[in-house]
Chains A and B, each alone.
Chain A
Amino acid sequence: MALPFPKRKSVPGVLASFEHIDSATDAIRGLRAKGHRDLTVYTSHPNHEVEAAVGHTNSPVRLFTLIGGLTGCTAGFAMTIWMSRDWPLLVGGKGIAAIPPYVVIAFELTILLGAFFTLGSVGLLSLLKAGRRIAYDPRFSDDRIGVFVAARGSDVATVEQMLRDAGAVEVSHAS
């Protein structure tokens, strides 16, 4: 079940299913060496070997976390200071805009906006590829490892053969 995005285009290619992690990573490395860059690997849990084989760099999520945290911190101080000065009332012998008590508010907003930006960025980064419909098998969330390779025409047969040679237990053609 996927999100109801309107024009999701199916990507033609080959979908392979693996039982063994080393077979899957062999296949990924082999395909990448042959110039197949449009790969999608499905695993039921995050796996470092897959990550290394696919060759991902660090996710940009951390940048969003930083921006969110800084925005929250600034907003916390700006809001409290501006609101105190907007209607100046002396409370507890402190200055109108007293920094130490406002640290608490700024801290909470740092965390809150940091969390919003972090999760928001995951959603945003996932949307980048949401327009493509790529073949999937429900067993990939259980114990199988899936590898989808975008391929068309004469490539299909070669890719299928490579996946089988690497040890795929099932290979199917998706159009």
Chain B
Amino acid sequence: MTTTALDREAEADLQFAPQLRMTQTHADVTRDVISTLGTPSRGYYMLLFGAVGLFLVGLVTFAILLKDGLGHAGYTPPILWSVFITTFVFWVGIGHAGTLISAILFLFRSPWRTAVYRATEAMTVFAVMTAGLFPIIHIGRQWIFYWLLPYPNQRYLWPNFKSPLIWDVFAISTYLTVSTLFLIFGLIPDVAAVRDKVSGWRRFIYGQLSLGWQGTDTQWRHYSRAYLYMAALATPLVLSVHSVVSWDFASSIIPGWHGTIFAPYFVAGAIYSGIGMVLTLLIPLRKALHLEHMITDYHFDNLSKLTLLTGSILFYAYAMEYFVAWYSGNTFEQVTFFRRAFGPMWWAGWTMIICNAFVSQLLWFRRIRVNLTALFVISIFINIGMWFERYVIIVSSLANDYVPWAWDGMNPTWADWGILAGSFGWFGMYFLLFARTFPIVAIQEIKEMIPMPRRRAGGGHH
């Protein structure tokens, strides 16, 4: 029996991480994952109603903003980017962990991604779907948002491609499209596996969604290659998207925004916040869907290490921002950073530093990395900290620009909070619906980790 280079690599993966060696058979995996699609519990419906309720709060708030205009929100000159843009950057950031785990770790052949990547990828798609709404809410005249797109029009005008805001339109819409396609593409074989196990109208629907997938050698031949290239395309994309978002700020001259460190700083922050949200979702989900034997301590340990790495990069970036402000000799830059820590918004500044830079350092300890209660609490801190990071960067920088008499604070209003709450409802609603409709663990990739049964002992590897 000849073994190919890929076989040897797959075997090396398992030697590197023996924790991944599964005791289940292929049939066990299909059964266990498909059992998560059974009749939902009461707790699930309560969460779903909660999410829909929050979404309705957002919807009503949006309707009022649509009718009366943005005056209800807390915009106070010179702070004309505030909670909506903060929340936009927050959700785009959340949307980075999924593609990191599904594409970058795929290329790096990190086998622990297998059990968790579907959930994080779904989270990514829904987070970017949420994020995309915010610039549209923020522009005020939502009905002409399509002016951002290049299309032939009677005004003979084209978008200004030199503006980072137009780059952002392209980056976010490309990211949403590619990550959605990547998610759907990965789902096709799994949907086919569900189709072959269920009956009645479910079989019909999953059958249509499986696009005729049968798992033939020809199908796998093209599929595996295409998956590899999709991962290779998504890898630079995920790193570019938050870089482009950071240039929305960095290419202006506002003190506190005008920094060359912004792109890597934002990408690290995005991955950090994304994994924070992954932990928040995965810890309860694993328990609710009884996936303890597939998503193990080993996975949480690895996710925590990734959190620690990106959290430490953030720590460095925060320190570097203060250093650069001091070293620049620019008074406005210095004042902005002084007021971040000791000005009227000191509480937001310290929330960001404590939740991100310091709390992440707890993950140096293995006992914390595998303690799911501690991890869940830390993940909540990360979510809060990362929302405040964007709030601090956006609002406190605008609050202290080059005209000191205009310096002002701002207070978010009910409209800001209503839209923010709505975004969590909108995101939660999609995630909950997805978790009960599609396999939340990638059946086909888990099966790849399990050696196929052999009639003869030995002789070749998986």
Contacts and interface: CB of A to CB of B under 8 A. Distances in A.
B162 interface: yes
Contact of A52 (B2, B166, B197, B240): B2
Contacts of B221: 51, 56, 59
Interface in A31-88: 39-52, 54, 56, 58-59, 61-62, 65, 69, 79-80, 83-84, 86-87
Contact of A126 (B27, B219, B237): B219
Contacts of A86: 156, 158
Nearest to B171: A108
Contacts of B233: 65, 69, 111, 114-115, 118
A44 B215 contact: yes
A175 interface: no
Contacts of A48: 4, 6-7, 10
Contacts of B211: 3
Nearest to B210: A1
Contacts of B27: 142-143
Contacts of A101: 161-162, 167
B214 A87 contact: no
B455 A20 contact: yes
A41 B218 CA distance: 8
Nearest to B448: A45
Majority SS of interface residues in chain A? helix
Contact of A111 (B150, B161, B174, B454): B174
Contact of B236 (A54, A61, A111, A136): A111
Given A91-B162, A111-B236, A138-B197, A119 B185 contact: yes
Given A1-B207, A111-B236, A118-B229, A104 B222 contact: no
Given A50-B217, A142-B197, A102 B161 contact: yes
Interface in A103-144: 104-105, 107-109, 111-112, 114-115, 118-119, 121-122, 125-126, 129-130, 134, 136, 138-143
A6 interface: no
Interface string B274-287: 00000000000000
B160 interface: yes
Interface in B186-221: 189, 192-193, 195-197, 203-204, 206-208, 210-212, 214-221
A108 B241 CA distance: 9
Interface residues of B, number: 76
B448 A46 contact: yes
Given A48-B4, A115-B230, A126-B222, A20 B445 contact: no
B260 to A, nearest CB: 15
B161 A56 contact: no
B212 to A, nearest CB: 4
Given A52-B2, A52-B4, A105-B167, A61 B162 contact: no
Contact of A141 (B7, B192, B218): B192
Interface centre among B221, B445, B448, B456 (most CB of A within 10 A): B221
A150 B203 CA distance: 28
A61 B222 contact: yes
A22 B158 contact: no
A92 to B, nearest CB: 6
Contacts of B171: 104, 108
Contacts of A104: 167, 170-171, 240, 244
Interface centre among B1, B163, B174, B230 (most CB of A within 10 A): B174
A109 B170 contact: yes
Contacts of A114: 229, 233
Contacts of A129: 218
A104 B240 CA distance: 9
A168 B460 CA distance: 20
A6 B140 CA distance: 50
B422 to A, nearest CB: 28
B199 to A, nearest CB: 10
A51 B223 CA distance: 13
A45 B447 contact: yes
B197 A1 contact: no
A45 B181 contact: no
B214 to A, nearest CB: 5
B209 to A, nearest CB: 9
A107 B240 contact: yes
A108 B220 contact: no
Given A22-B456, A102-B161, A143 B208 contact: no
Given A104-B170, A142-B27, A142-B196, A22 B229 contact: no
Contacts of B225: 58-59, 61-62
Contacts of A112: 174, 177-178
Given A44-B30, A105-B161, A115-B178, 16 more contacts: A1-B204, A19-B453, A23-B455, A43-B215, A44-B193, A46-B223, A84-B161, A92-B162, A102-B161, A104-B244, A108-B171, A111-B178, A115-B233, A121-B226, A142-B30, A143-B25
19 contacts: A2-B212, A20-B453, A20-B454, A21-B454, A42-B215, A44-B30, A58-B225, A83-B158, A102-B161, A104-B167, A104-B171, A104-B240, A111-B174, A111-B233, A114-B233, A115-B177, A118-B229, A126-B218, A142-B27
